[in-house]
Amino acid sequence: MNNQNNQAKKSTLSNKAELLKLAGPSTQSVHINGIANPYRSVGEPIVQTATYQFEDVADLCAFQEAQLSGDDHDRIEYGRYGNPTVNAVEKRIAGLENANDALLFSTGMAAITTTLLALLSSGDNIIITDDSYRRTRQFCEIYLKQMGITTTVVPMGDYEAFEAAILPNTRLVISESPTNPYLRTLDLERFVAIAKKHQVKTFIDSTFATPLNIRPLDWGVDLVVHSATKYLGGHNDILAGVVAGGSGTLKELRNALGIFGGISDPHNAALLLRGIKTLGLRVERQNQNGQAISEFLEGQPNVERVWYPGLPSHPDHEIAKQQMSGFGGVVSFTVKGDLESTSRFIDAVKIPLIAASLGAVETLIEPPAIMAYYDLTTEERLAEGISNNLVRLALGIEDAEDIIADLEQALAVV
């Protein structure tokens, strides 16, 4: 009878797992659950531990043998090698990205740097698109260089330049979609076709898209990374990063993470798990806000130019329309005038908070010239494509009418 019960339970569980594989992203965000839960609590348990105990020496030996033979098992030896709460969030994100596996890190940068260090060796070349996150480019151009790994920067959206840049030792191409701050959007089909032709691995930072708006792995990309600090966490209260992809590479990365040590702790993972439950609702609202506010800005006399992939004026609007199901919550625009008029405008807004980051419930506003690019001269900034009158607006979930009214009154002081 017990056996029968167990069988029935197993088949129900596997049916649920199968059902969730085909479910919509909001259902997946709430229900995909990789944690064994002896308490049947609806909130997932936070397993706060640094290490795990063995029953006796035989139990320890069985664990070690299973490790050596590479058998799949759910035992963990030590906190740096895994945690059930962390594992629960990894399973949920893997489901959302349609990936075999996912791996959680302390930050988005820990995810990116660990992945690159694990997959590249001295003598390799990596290609990166120019509109990528500045810290990622700096990691490649400063730290990978010190290790004998060369970086080639190619213009975002120039597929001929990308193909021409591939060298016999090019192992990996890293890009983002949409990019920061101009929301350039990759034609993933074309990008992947070129990379596959030359056996180059593709690594996409999909932070700005979220798995709701595009799932790069479905387009043939090898690995996807998110700064989970942004939309996945969604509340500006945690930092985290995640890489999702095929099980072979993820196993390699899991081993590397166990050595490099940039893990996420269980409380952080629990906050992320909770944040993800509302991802679908939040992103739906942020997509709507992005569209409404970018359309409003485009009609304003004190706004010079607006970048948002949902606008027909955006250079990648057509490809974004074909490949994405929403265009996200970030809108970039230039204010008429210079740094002074832009500062007056930013000081006049009441609802958006002046802060770095994006993707959470609060709308944030920043002038990149006096945020991420403050260390550069105006000329150096311009060489990076950043003008002094550029503003990045990372929309939250507030009512669009309120943000629009606020921006309207602030633009009047420019």
Ligand X SMILES: Cc1ncc(COP(=O)(O)O)c(C=O)c1O
Q: Which residues are catalytic?
A: 80, 133, 205, 230
The residues of the shown chain that bind ligand X, judged by CB under 6 A, are 107-109, 133, 176, 180, 205, 207, 227, 229, 239, 241
Helix ranges (H only) for 23-107 are 25-31, 57-68, 84-96
Distance CA 11, CA 380 (A): 61
Nearest to 175 by CA among 142, 202, 140: 202
Closer residue to ligand X in complex, CB, 163/316: 316
Distance CA 282, CA 268 (A): 20
Question: Does residue 390 contact residue 338 with C-beta atoms inside 8 Å?
Answer: no
- Residues 6+ positions from 23 with CB-CB distance below 8 Å: 31
Distance CA 237, CA 30 (A): 20
Q: How far is the CB of 164 from ligand X (least distance, A)?
A: 26
Altogether, the residues listed in the chain come to a count of 414
Q: How far is the CB of 179 from ligand X (least distance, A)?
A: 8
Q: How far is the CB of 192 from ligand X (least distance, A)?
A: 19
Closer residue to ligand X in complex, CB, 303/329: 329
The CB-nearest residue to ligand X is 108
Distance CA 34, CA 383 (A): 46
Closer residue to ligand X in complex, CB, 156/414: 156
Question: Does residue 235 contact residue 100 with C-beta atoms inside 8 Å?
Answer: no
Q: How far is the CB of 205 from ligand X (least distance, A)?
A: 5
Closer residue to ligand X in complex, CB, 76/329: 329
